[in-house]
Amino acid sequence: MERTFAHYEILGAIGAGGMGEVWKARDSRLGRLVALKLLPEDACDEDGTLERFRREAQSASRLNHPNICTIYDFLEDDGRFAIVMELLEGENLQDRLARGPLAVDDMLRIAVPVADAIAFAHSQGVLHRDIKPGNIFLSQSGIAKILDFGLAKLTEPNANTLSSIDATVVSPGPDASLTQMGGTVGTVSYMSPEQALGRDLDARSDVFSFGATLYEMATGQRAFDGPTMAAVTDALLHRDPVRASELRSEIPAGLENVIVKSMQKDREDRFEDMHALARALKEADWSEAPKKGAKTEKTSIAVLPFRHMSADADDEYFADGMAEEIINSLAKIGPLRVVSRTSSFAFKGRDEDIREIGSALDVNVVLEGSVRKSGNRVRITSQLINVEDGYHLWSERFDRTMDDIFAVQDEIAESIAKALEIVLTNEEREAIREIPTDSAEAYEYYLRGRFYLWKLNPESFLMADSMFRAALKEDPEFLLALASRVELYSWFYLWLPVEDKRSLQSKAEELARQSQEIAPDRAETRFAFALTHWMKQEHAKALQLFQEAAEIDPGYWEAHFYGARVAMEGGRLDVAAMMFEQAYRIRPDEYQAMCLRSTCLRGEPEEAKVVAEAKKILERHIRLHPDDNRALGFLVTCYAFEGDEEETRALGEELQRRSDVDAGFLYNVACAYIHLGWKEEAFEILFKIVKDGWGNPEWLDSDPDMDPLRDDPRFGGLIDEIKKNRERTG
């Protein structure tokens, strides 16, 4: 490199920008230090390159803003061209993020002035089109500056749209930009969808790119990434990134809402411009971020059973079904913790104060409502109530036909999100709006089936099956009804002493194949096949399919929970503990996942902590459901772990006296007795429940609670007896 360029003395190399080398130089006339960006000599004749270089100078020179790198001059010397700009000392944001995400306070300090600067550029008719961490510089004085307007487009100030120039992205990496003709401009990981598709752009394209940059500042990870440009582009166009708060719990809800709204696929759903985004950043409640190490609590909601107001008592199923479907819809919203049906339905028919309900269920807000059905007409009223003060956050009445029932459910779920100031991602909105069937009659039968299924007894299971059959007669491709039948048959097969188990297995496999033909890539289909493999004791394949279902739908509680049970039966206690934890995160009030996780952690350092948490959940649940024998069986094991012999003995004997206690629940009593060294009594219980038809040799083989019995010859006899029972029933 020559030591001078025009009247600038070259002092040393700094690096490379979007379209040239950058050198540190001294202005011999004014004596100031500058950055000199030179277009490579061999690039000056390439079609369009010089014009883009000139446009960078022209674009940035129009912008006099403290958070935009200042352009001093554009000049030529001996056939080479250069931009003279402000010399900055520090590092760019990309290099800073390589060391990890930013503290929330640092994000605020950087994001707000940069957003203001982009908004200012837009007001001057300049669209950047390449907002990314590599183009935001952090000076040593603490000021953030926007760099590299090489892809900027000049328009009239406040112009609505502009056309992209003809160039194409060649790499998905951090500096991927345009060098070839005939495509789009920008850096693919930060492009807006419309930019990636080569469509006309407006200010909302920079809004999207800035949102992707905010996401990376918050999480330390790119919102859209992959091994190839095609993979990144596919993610950009079709997938939402994991919510920032899922990767980093201290992210404030206000900041997350700004990020989510900025990165909506449809630009009509984003902030209307950068001014609106900057305003949202300034108005967001950043104080919600807890101190380091503290836990962020999600907004929590309980959906109470809707009151049944119809003249026909048989329509009770519809009121219950509406509440259950709204629970399922709300569970698809990441920032919302939704109390399970089991807990919220404990208040069915009970007239209690909202504050007491909120305290019992440990929630911030409660949704209550009523349903009046007459023929094909339905009236639904619903109110969202703040537990702390009883204030109605939202209420609405819907008078519709049954054909509109899904639209009502969608509107209720989206209205709740809006009232709680939660911005939905594209995937969350699509999941809520999904219509499971076009047949109102099929849906009614399906709701009746779920109503009977939840009664949890053999007689109601038969009624549930007949309802699901009727639903499928109306709509043979009703996936939820198919999956419910498979789930029902698996319950018969795994938990009840059924004579012809081979027939159940065959029916379940046929239903799973039907699901495969209808929707091979749906989580429900993988779940159905997983259940059939579990029936055949093919644990590895069942676990794989449960994991695939959970990956497709991370909020699918059943996939995590049953996958964990299969992993536990297969001796994969580490995998089981992880999947039980995921199930617990989805339904924190559902006690089984945490209780079984504690079993997987026997002897581990965190066992005591998990047992204490399980006991806390159990005691809250039992206050609502004092006759839940399964929960009482788990509570016995907690007492035993704590060494409380008196409580263990009292509750264990009480459960053995009850005539309505399922044999499987008494298994937990045996586990508690083993923990306290009461082996004789434990064997007595185990042989009794095996005689009554209970038996799962795979579970016994892998359950750590059974370890103290394994060297006793009676344990082998117990396994043999279970296997004989299995052979008799097929």
- Please tell me the predicted confidence (pLDDT) of residue 331: 86
Question: Could you give the CA distance from residue 103 to residue 89 in angstroms, rounded to a whole number?
Answer: 22
Q: 232 Cβ partners below 8 Å, 6+ apart?
A: 172, 188, 189, 224, 225, 226
Residue 102 lies in a domain: yes
User: Residue 184: what pLDDT?
Assistant: 44
Q: Is residue 453 part of a domain?
A: no
pTM for this model (two decimals): 0.66
Instruction: Find the CATH number of the domain harbouring 706.
Output: 1.25.40.10
pLDDT digits (tens, 9 = 90+) for 206-252: 999 999 999 999 999 999 988 888 888 888 988 888 889 888 888 88
Residues 98 and 163 in one domain: yes
Domain membership of residue 617 (yes or no) is: yes
Q: What is the pLDDT of residues 407-419, one digit of tens each?
A: 898 999 999 988 8
Residues 373 and 274 in one domain: no
* 339 and 420 belong to one structural domain: yes
538 and 637 housed in the same domain: yes
Q: Per residue in 485-506, pLDDT tens?
A: 888 888 777 666 555 667 888 8
Q: With 90 as the cut, is the pLDDT of residue 564 above it?
A: yes
How far apart CA 218 and CA 100 sit, in angstroms, is: 9
**Beta 178-180 vs 168-169: how paired, if at all?**
antiparallel
Alpha-carbon distance 231 to 235, whole Å?
6
- Of 71-85, 202-216, 271-285, where does the model show the most confidence? 202-216
Residues 545, 527: contact at Cβ < 8 Å? yes
Q: Residue 165 — pLDDT band, cuts 50, 70, 90?
A: very low
401 and 470 in one domain?
no
SS (H, E, C) 235-279: HHHHCCCCCHHHHCCCCCHHHHHHHHHHCCCCHHHCCCCHHHHHH
- DSSP, collapsed to helix, strand or coil, labels residue 16 as strand
Q: What is the dihedral of CA 601, 606, 673, 708, to 10 degrees?
A: 50
Looking at the predicted structure, is the pLDDT value of residue 338 above 70? yes
Closest residue by Cα to residue 20 from 53, 45, 46, 48: 53
Report how far residue 271's alpha carbon sits from residue 257's, in angstroms, rounded to the nearest whole number. 11
Domain shared by 135 and 284, yes or no? yes
187 versus 390: which is more confidently predicted? 390
Q: Which residues contact 161 (CB under 8 A, 6 or more apart)?
A: 200, 201, 202
Question: What are the backbone dihedrals phi and psi of residue 495, each rounded to the nearest 5 degrees, phi first?
Answer: -115, -15
Given 86, 121, 156, the domain boundary residue is 86
Encoded tokens for 556 = 């699918």
Inside any domain, residue 448: no
- Average pLDDT over the chain, rounded to whole? 84
Q: In a 3-state reduction of DSSP, which class is residue 484? A: helix
Chain length of the chain: 730
CATH classification of the domain holding 148: 1.10.510.10
> Is it the case that residue 166 has pLDDT exceeding 50?
no
Residue among 706, 634, 641 nearest 676 (CA): 641
If you average pLDDT over residues 685-714, what whole number do you get? 85
Q: Is residue 440 part of a domain?
A: no
Q: Quote the percentage of the chain above a pLDDT of 90.
A: 38
Mean pLDDT of 685-703: 82
Decide: 426 and 264 in contact? Cβ < 8 Å.
yes
Strands 153-154 and 168-169: unpaired
Q: Could you tell me the sign of the dihedral formed by the alpha carbons of 542, 548, 551, 552, in that order?
A: negative
**What DSSP line would sit under 346-381, residue for residue?**
GGTT----HHHHHHHHT-SEEEEEEEEEETTEEEEE
Contacts of the segment 172-175: beta carbons below 8 A, 24+ positions apart: 172/225, 172/226, 172/228, 172/229, 172/231, 172/232, 172/233, 174/94, 174/132, 174/133, 174/134, 175/18, 175/134
Q: Is 130 a catalytic residue?
A: yes
One-letter identity of residue 168: T
Ranges 34-48, 74-88, 466-480, most confident: 466-480
Per the domain annotation, does 719 fall within a domain? yes
The model's pLDDT over 307-332, given as tens digits with 9 standing for 90+, comes to 988 777 777 888 888 898 899 888 88
Work out the average pLDDT over 166-180.
Answer: 33
What mean pLDDT do residues 453-477 have? Answer: 88
Among 39, 54, 86, the domain-final residue is 86
665 within domain boundaries: yes
Tell me the CA distances in angstroms from 34 to 29, 37, 89, one per residue in order. Answer: 12, 10, 11
Q: Which two tokens stand for residue 173?
A: 């990496």
Q: Write out the E strands in 44-103.
A: 71-77, 80-86, 90-92
Q: Which two structure tokens, joined as six digits, stand for 637?
A: 């094991």
In a domain, 501, yes or no: yes
State the pLDDT at residue 44. Answer: 55
Average pLDDT over residues 698-711: 87
Q: What is the DSSP secondary-structure string of 522-548?
A: SHHHHHHHHHHHHHTT-HHHHHHHHHH
- For residues 39 and 139, state if they share a domain: no
H helix count then E strand count, the chain: 30, 19
Residue 525: strand pairing partners: none
Both ends of the chain: CA-CA distance in Å?
84
Boundaries of domain holding 678: 458-729
Check pLDDT > 50 for residue 291.
no
Q: What is the pLDDT of residue 185?
A: 44
Q: What is the pLDDT at residue 199?
A: 87
Q: For residue 176, what pLDDT is reported?
A: 39
Residues 624, 718 share a domain: yes
For every residue of 106-137, which 3-state class applies, written as one string? HHHHHHHHHHHHHHHHHHCCEECCCCCHHHEE
Which of the following is catalytic: 116, 130, 148, 320?
A: 130
Whole-number Cα distances in Å, 387 to 65, 368, 487, 589:
47, 12, 35, 18
Q: How far apart are CA 106 and CA 113, in angstroms?
A: 12
Does residue 546 surpass a pLDDT of 90?
yes
| Residue 146: predicted pLDDT | 92
The reported pLDDT for the residue numbered 150 is 56
Give pLDDT tens digits for 32-72. Answer: 999 888 876 665 555 566 666 676 667 667 788 889 988 88
* CATH code of 46's domain: 3.30.200.20
Main-chain dihedrals φ then ψ at residue 84, nearest 5 degrees? -100, 125
**Cβ partners under 8 Å of residue 128, min gap 6:** 118, 121, 135, 146, 149, 151, 152, 206, 209
Of 253, 288, 323, at which residue does a domain stop?
A: 288
Which residue has tokens 């990981």?
189
Residues 6+ apart with CB under 8 A from 482: 472, 511, 514, 515, 518, 524, 528
Same domain flag for 724 and 581: yes
222/98 same-domain check = yes
Residue with tokens 């009676």: 714
Same-domain pairing of 310 and 258? no
Q: Tokens for 107? A: 């994000």
Q: For the chain, how many structural domains are there in total?
A: 4
Alpha helices in 454-556 (DSSP H): 458-474, 479-495, 501-518, 523-535, 539-552
Q: Give yes or no: residues 409 and 481 share one domain.
A: no
